[in-house]
């Protein structure tokens, strides 16, 4: 199974992380082969800036081995964020919308908490 979580508003990170943690727990409990990717665009990318004391940082570090996290380069440019300012495990994709469509065409189930 492949799950694609979309976050485009920085206020929705808590819901996305809760859904992600629940999916990871399910994956481990039932020994399921689940691939998870989070795609952030819009102002949600603001929360991906590396900030060691941030609660989000702790949560992202807890899930980083189980999830691919992608940030939209168009959104980064809009908010004047450089890729080297992001957490080191965040992948920058050229366009979040294209990444969402691409992953759906690869069989990912689209979830927007």
Domain count across the chain: 1
Which CATH number characterizes residue 49's domain?
3.40.1260.10
Tell me the pLDDT of the chain (113 aa) as tens digits: 999 999 999 999 999 999 999 999 999 999 889 999 999 999 999 999 987 557 888 899 999 999 999 999 999 999 999 999 999 999 999 999 999 999 999 999 999 99
Q: pTM (2 decimals)?
A: 0.94
pLDDT of residue 52: 55
Q: How is residue 3 written in tokens?
A: 């799950």
Residue 68 structural domain: 2-111
User: Burial, 13: exposed, middle or buried (Cβ in 10 Å; 0-12, 13-18, 19+)?
Assistant: buried
For residue 100, give the nearest of 63, 66, 70 by alpha carbon: 70
């Amino acid at each position: 199974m492949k799950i694609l979580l979309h976050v485009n508003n920085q206020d929705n990170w808590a819901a996305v992380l809760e859904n992600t943690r629940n999916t990871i727990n399910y994956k481990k409990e039932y020994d399921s082969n689940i691939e998870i990717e989070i795609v952030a665009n819009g102002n949600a990318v603001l929360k991906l800036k590396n900030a060691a004391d941030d609660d989000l940082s702790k949560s992202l570090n807890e899930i980083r081995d189980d999830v691919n996290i992608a940030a939209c380069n168009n959104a980064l440019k809009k908010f004047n964020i450089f890729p080297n300012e992001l957490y080191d495990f965040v992948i920058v994709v050229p366009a979040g919308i294209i990444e969402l469509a691409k992953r759906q065409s690869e069989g990912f189930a689209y979830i927007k908490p």
